[in-house]
Chains A and B, each alone.
Chain A
Amino acid sequence: MSSKTINLTLKVWRQNRKNPAGDLETYQANDISTDMSFLEMIDVVNEQLTEQGIEPIAFDHDCREGICGMCGAVVNGRAHGHMPETTLCQLHMRHFKDGNTIVIEPWRATAFPVVKDLVVDRGALDKIIQAGGYISVNAGGAQDGNTIPVPKENAEKAFNAAACIGCGACVAACPNASAMLFTGAKISHLALLPQGKPGAKRRALSMVRAMDELGFGNCSNEAECEAECPKGISITEIARMNREFIKAAFS
């Protein structure tokens, strides 16, 4: 943890509710410790802006340990920045060099309207889940947990799909702003488990339809989502969703 400091130029997307046009504004970020996280760097800049009487940059963040999925911005053209399998809050400034210019933009997708600056509305992802991303059981009626054996391998595969944090980086990184990786991960998670089988058909059809209705783009197998996913979710989940959809649609 040997720390040094660097100076950076930030170009940050600023857009408020009164001026929906928005524009990139330039700020200096000086004496940034390389041990800081990217969001801590923005904190520091915001402190300075506040002292200068400029409104601080609005950005979503919460757990700051890479699990809540709240944070995210496109940094120099890359969702969550350039480090693999890293959320913005876990991106550390040691990966930048003194004198770098950093362009920070919000997720861009028609389905994710900008609320302010770097903050977007990702409610569409909740709506996809509402369309069927669940197993229909009420509390209280479940049988003993061990009456449903699940092969270890399937449990692990299901877990890998379920590791999605719903941050929306897949949509942001997709050249078509498609939500296939998000939707594929949820459909896969449930399709891999015996508990998910009874509702599988309905789930695949209605979640895929919801995705279309919400204005997401189509998948053209560019695999940018997989490359940017902070949880390393693979496009094999999309293939599994395709299989689930084919089974549901044509049988």
Chain B
Amino acid sequence: MNWFIENISTAIGKKLLMAVTGLGFVGFIFVHLVGNLNFYFGKEVFLKYVETLHKLDPLIFVAELVLLGLAVIHVSTGTLLFFQNLRARKTRYAVNKSAGGRTIGSRTMPYTGFFILLFVILHLFQFHFIDRSQMTPYDAAVNTFGNIGFALVYIVAVILVALHIRHGFWSLFQSLGLNHEKYMPLIQTVGIIFAVAIAVGFAFVPIYIRAVI
């Protein structure tokens, strides 16, 4: 394993860690979004979906552990990168302009990442670590988004997630070495569409709840 640790702790190794874990989250968030779409078909359909999901329980538990693992790696590597990168330029420029490479997504990556972490913790406390015998996930959503403050927090958070994906999606392909002049424009476009879909798909849940229910 020595060789593995050695290689994975290089600059490219850390990129790979971020890419692979990020890819995991892209998959997860996609599934999560598809699941959430059930919400728009009413309480019964949604709870049926929840029930089906929980029938897979041992698997879900494993999935949760995997996600936790991914999160630990993604967050700790990201934090390490953030501080290492600060150290790589101790004196900052008096004037610093972008040449056009950076996007708002790439520029804010560590910060959106940090807020997403806080948000995920909040989200877990509001939806995951609840007494399911007292409250269905559907009720939890209705309760939470009934509060305008929480609704806004969630909307802002998914926009940040979208920003994070805006850079993260194509970036993970680049990190894995999958940058080809023929396909990269497609990957870029898919990334942007995906980011927008995530923002719109998730943000409409609180809006829907407040407007309709």
Contact = CB atoms under 8 A, between A and B. Distances in A.
Q: CB–CB under 8 A between A and B in the complex?
A: yes
Interface of A: 11, 13, 24, 74, 76-79, 82, 103, 105, 108-111, 173, 175-178, 180, 205, 208-209, 211-212, 215-228, 235-236, 238-246, 249-250
A87 to B, nearest CB: 14
Interface string B143-171: 00000000000000000000000010011
B97 A216 contact: no
Contact of A108 (B8, B87, B91, B175): B91
A217 B89 contact: yes
A176 B179 contact: no
B7 A217 contact: no
Given A241-B12, A246-B177, A176 B88 contact: yes
Contacts of A239: 174, 177-179
B14 A227 contact: no
A227 B84 CA distance: 23
Interface stretch (B99-107, B126-134, B198-206): B99-107
B120 to A, nearest CB: 21
Interface of B: 3, 7-8, 10-16, 81, 84-85, 87-102, 106-107, 109, 167, 170-171, 174-181, 184
Contacts of A224: 98-99, 101-102
Nearest to A228: B99
Contacts of B109: 220
A86 to B, nearest CB: 11
Contacts of A236: 179-181, 184
Given A225-B101, A240-B177, A246-B177, A215 B16 contact: no
Kindly name the residue among A82, A236, A240 whose own CB sees the greatest number of chain B CB atoms within 10 A.
A236
A208 B13 CA distance: 10
Nearest to A234: B181
A205 B179 CA distance: 20
A23 to B, nearest CB: 10
Contacts of B3: 249
Given A76-B97, A77-B93, A236-B180, A242 B88 contact: no
A235 B16 CA distance: 16
A105 B94 CA distance: 8
